[in-house]
């Protein structure tokens, strides 16, 4: 524990313990596999706690996505207790206990912050060393990011253990960083994005020190690995808070450094919130939809006003608009192709019915997705309502439908039928003799 953390939590050595009678978490809310892991650890003399977001969500009356277990047993000790245990992670050693095909309980040993005296003499041994120094539950709590994520549920007496004031913050619906936010955001700039995510997901207010620290440390987010930022961004939309978080990222000065060159405006934020609503309605999160929504405003601005583009020109402009983002974040060609088709389809639909190439576009696999994208934009902006309605009158059809048909439902052929081509006659093979009469 650092001095700054001790100053912030002067009673850190005296955790607040909430007995079973004073909180609403019941073992009935915990799945049987997790309970089995907790009890086996406890019955073998180890501390066994539910940790992290699962405890937070249960206290808030939410259903956790999964449960994590914390213990003072080392990974090798956990493995000895469970035949179905597999140790994973080189940098951060974890125990994965598998149940059948899909069941998985993750067990982490309590860890502490590494000090100068903890580093091995050989620099080659430094990789991952600081992440695998085992410690006490209290030390482990202070390594976590936010106070509401550092609560422990003790299976021994069903109590809640709080070393960092997380219970008070839950009650106040306040998001607070453990330790000095300036230091913690410098250690890991992605925590700034996670702070905005939890604030949006839980409808919590940002602590003023956290908000100020984001303002001051915002440029550091550009140093984070692009692959990690991309995954965190998609996580926002999986939790249906992408639009709200990016709106707040602009308000706190984070957005220009998070997405370089991206100009956030109300139309884009509203469209992204409609993408979130689409996910909330049960549809899977679709990265091409997110990409197209992020860059639609720039695409529309890049299309010459009052001038009809060819499809090839629209494809070229869409590709140029998407290229900086896709190249920086290493977006797969298939994903960027689908995003480009959504933008081009949006442009083609925006020209209205009866335009050249309409029949061919109606049979294109991208038509329905582009129409849904246009409808989301219309809902977000209030524009193009009649245009969307006219396109929605088009019946859903397969690739071969919508073409004119002849008698008996057959599709008329184009031009004369091609003559069957005969191969060259093989040498030395006589033609078959005609049958003799009388046969």
Q: Tell me, yes or no, if 140 is annotated catalytic.
A: no
The phi and psi torsions of 435 (rounded to 5 degrees) equal: -65, 145
Please name the fold of domain 1-172.
Beta Polymerase; domain 2 (3.30.460)
Q: Tell me, yes or no, if 313 is annotated catalytic.
A: no
In degrees, rounded to 5, the angle at the alpha carbon of residue 242 between the alpha carbons of residues 241 and 248 is 90
User: How many CB atoms lie under 10 A from the CB of residue 251?
Assistant: 14
pLDDT digits (tens, 9 = 90+) for 166-182: 999 999 999 999 999 99
pLDDT tier for residue 31 given thresholds of 50, 70 and 90: very high
pLDDT digits (tens, 9 = 90+) for 219-237: 999 999 999 999 999 999 9
Mean pLDDT of the chain: 86
pLDDT of residue 37: 97
Is 80 exceeded by the pLDDT of residue 114? no
* Segment of 119-123, 242-246, 353-357 carrying the highest mean pLDDT: 242-246
Sheet with 85-88: list strands edge to edge.
Answer: 16-18, 159-162, 151-154, 48-51, 68-71, 103-109, 94-99, 85-88
Outline where DSSP puts E strands in 233-332.
none
Q: Where are the domains of the chain?
A: 1-172, 279-401
Q: Tell me, yes or no, if 124 is annotated catalytic.
A: no
pLDDT of residue 411: 45
What distance in Å separates the CA atoms of residue 120 and residue 133, rounded to the nearest whole number? Answer: 11
pLDDT tier for residue 332 given thresholds of 50, 70 and 90: very high
Please name the fold of domain 279-401.
cca-adding enzyme, domain 2 (1.10.3090)
Instruction: State the catalytic residue, choosing from 72, 140, 145, 207.
Output: 145
Q: Is the distance from CB of 63 to CB of 53 less than 8 angstroms?
A: no
Cα-based torsion angle of the residue sequence 22, 24, 29, 30 in order, rounded to the nearest 10 degrees:
-30
Instruction: State the catalytic residue, choosing from 7, 31, 32, 66.
Output: 66
More confident call, 71 vs 407? 71
The phi and psi torsions of 19 (rounded to 5 degrees) equal: -70, 165
Q: Where are the alpha helices (DSSP H) in 203-253?
A: 208-217, 226-238, 242-251
């Amino acid at each position: 524990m650092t001095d700054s953390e001790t100053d912030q939590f002067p009673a850190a050595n005296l955790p607040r313990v909430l007995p079973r009678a004073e909180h609403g978490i019941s073992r009935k809310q915990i799945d049987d596999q997790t309970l089995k892991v907790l009890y086996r650890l406890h019955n073998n003399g180890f501390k066994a706690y539910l940790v992290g977001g699962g405890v937070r969500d249960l206290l808030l009356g939410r259903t956790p996505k999964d449960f994590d277990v914390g213990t003072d047993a080392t990974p090798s000790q956990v493995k000895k207790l469970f035949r179905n245990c597999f140790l994973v992670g080189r940098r951060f050693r974890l125990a994965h206990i598998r149940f059948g095909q899909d069941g998985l309980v993750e067990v982490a040993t309590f860890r502490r912050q590494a000090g100068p005296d903890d580093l091995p003499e050989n620099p080659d041994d430094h990789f991952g060393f600081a992440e695998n120094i085992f410690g006490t539950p209290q030390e482990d709590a202070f390594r976590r990011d936010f106070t509401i994520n550092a609560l422990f549920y003790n299976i021994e007496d069903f109590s809640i253990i709080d070393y960092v004031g997380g219970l008070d913050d839950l009650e106040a619906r306040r998001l607070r960083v453990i330790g000095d936010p300036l230091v913690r955001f410098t250690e890991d700039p992605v925590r700034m994005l996670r702070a905005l995510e939890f604030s949006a997901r839980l409808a919590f207010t940002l602590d003023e020190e956290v908000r100020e620290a984001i303002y001051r440390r915002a440029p550091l987010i550009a140093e984070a690995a692009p692959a990690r930022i991309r995954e965190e961004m998609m996580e926002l939309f999986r939790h249906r808070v992408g639009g709200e978080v990016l709106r707040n990222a602009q308000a706190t000065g984070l957005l220009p450094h998070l997405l370089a060159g991206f100009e956030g405006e109300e139309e884009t934020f509203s469209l992204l919130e409609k993408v979130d609503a689409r996910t909330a309605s049960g549809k899977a999160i679709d990265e091409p939809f997110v990409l197209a929504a992020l860059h639609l405003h720039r695409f529309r601005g890049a299309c010459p006003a009052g001038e009809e583009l060819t499809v090839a020109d629209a494809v070229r402009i869409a590709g140029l608009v998407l290229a900086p983002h896709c190249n920086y974040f290493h977006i797969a060609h298939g994903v960027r192709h689908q995003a480009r088709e959504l933008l081009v389809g949006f442009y083609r639909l925006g020209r209205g019915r009866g335009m050249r190439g309409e029949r061919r576009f109606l049979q294109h696999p991208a038509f329905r997705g582009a129409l849904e994208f246009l409808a989301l934009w219309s809902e977000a902006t209030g524009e193009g309502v009649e245009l969307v309605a006219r396109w929605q009158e088009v019946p859903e059809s397969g690739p071969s439908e919508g073409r004119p048909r002849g008698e008996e439902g057959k599709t008329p052929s184009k031009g004369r039928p091609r003559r069957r081509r005969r191969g060259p006659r093989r040498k030395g093979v006589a033609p078959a003799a005609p049958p003799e009469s009388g046969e």
